[in-house]
Amino acid sequence: MSDFSYLLEKIKEIDFTKKPFKHIYIENFFSENHFTKLTNSPQIKLDSAETVQVLINKLHEKGWKPRPFGGCTINEKAYIKWRKNTASGYQNTDTCSGFGMAYSSTLSESKFTEDLTKFLASEEFFSCLRDKFKISSPPYRVAAGCHKYLKGYEISPHPDSRNKALTYMININPNPESERENHHTHYMVLKKKYAYVKAYWEGNLDVDRSWLPWDWCETKFKQIKNNSIVIFSPTDSTIHAIKADYYDLNFQRTQFYGNLWYENYPKLLRPGWESLLIKPGKEKKNASLLWKIKNKLSTIIK
């Protein structure tokens, strides 16, 4: 058995949490010794930087590379311009205002961190997750690693694409005060007036799920605890979001993050949120106005 096999036992033994949707949540996921060793690693706990350019230089020196990721750019020069308030924010969707960057690393500076990173991307680990969620075994593609997310990283509320079978996120922040920072994942539900969106997704399996405006949803839980893991299999209900607005020159939001993708899944049309918006028609507005007039007249007559 590997040195990390105790992690599999924790996953096997934990009960599912049902709110706001079915998921696994475990605090103190890594042993105290492993977590301390991990978060004190020179690749995780970087020296403080005076500017964002110095921070990016330090990330490169420690083996971190820009990673294409939702809510992010890989253009470091454009990102620095945005940080200086000389460039606009996120270009691809009007549900986001940020312009973040994500970096990935294999954590290869020590055998311990490299072995742990490999374990969390291994068939052994993902097989345990598939068994827990009773996911059948067609061809899959695993994408997993250690990521740092800089200020501006933002993904608006979304349930994840239909071609994703499973995802996990583990907080490994080197900042001892990280729970107070504004960079944690929100787990959400649709507000009552937008509940029809879930029904639309349920009834239209030939379209993919969309990113939604923040004000369509409300947060029910935030994963603020360091050394915690959340695991879920995406459905029409698994809405989550992140907006990182914090001082990152001393400490950066850091996670182990893993996805299990269906290998052979058709590419689906993803309607924008605007096409999901139902607005009252003119008739309804006029009817409402007529009701108000009649009610006012009735009050005056009385």
The segment with the largest mean pLDDT, out of 3-7, 94-98, 276-280, is 3-7
For 91-116, what is the mean pLDDT? 86
Q: Which of 51, 124, 117 is nearest to 84 (CA)?
A: 51
Is the pLDDT at 35 greater than 70? The verdict is yes
Q: Residue 69: its pLDDT value, please?
A: 83
Quickly tell me which residue has 């059948």 as its tokens: 136
pLDDT at 291 over 60: no
Q: 88 pLDDT exceeds 80?
A: no
List, for residues 50-66, the tens digit of each pLDDT value: 999 999 999 999 999 99
For residue 296, the model assigns a pLDDT of 46
Mean pLDDT value of segment 123-150: 94
Does the pLDDT value for residue 249 go beyond 90?
Answer: yes
Q: What is the pLDDT of residue 91?
A: 56
Instruction: Give the DSSP letter of residue 48.
Output: P
pLDDT at 138: 80
For 162-177, b/e burial (b = at least 16 CB within 10 A) is bbbbbbbbbbbbbbee
CA distance 145 to 158: 21
Backbone angles phi, psi at 275, to 5 degrees: -75, -10
71-80, 93-102, 251-260: the lowest-pLDDT one = 93-102
Which pLDDT belongs to residue 297? 42
Confidence of residue 90 (pLDDT cuts 50, 70, 90): low
Q: What is the pLDDT averaged over residues 118-141?
A: 94
Q: What is the pLDDT of residue 288?
A: 56
How large is the average pLDDT for residues 253-261? 97
Residue 292 binned pLDDT confidence (cut-offs 50, 70, 90): low
- Provide the pLDDT for residue 219: 98
Average of per-residue pLDDT values in the chain: 90
More confident residue, 252 or 280: 252
Q: Which CATH architecture has domain 5-301?
A: Sandwich (2.60)
User: In the predicted model, is pLDDT for residue 2 greater than 90?
Assistant: no
pLDDT over 70, % of the chain: 89
- Assigned token pair, 141: 């593609």
Q: Is the pLDDT of residue 301 over 50?
A: no
Residues 6+ apart with CB under 8 A from 210: 158, 270, 271, 272, 273, 276
**pLDDT for res 289:** 53
Q: Which of 84-98, 102-116, 165-179, 215-229 has the least mean pLDDT?
A: 84-98
Q: How confident is the model at residue 265 (pLDDT cuts 50, 70, 90)?
A: confident
Alpha-carbon distance 213 to 29, whole Å? 32
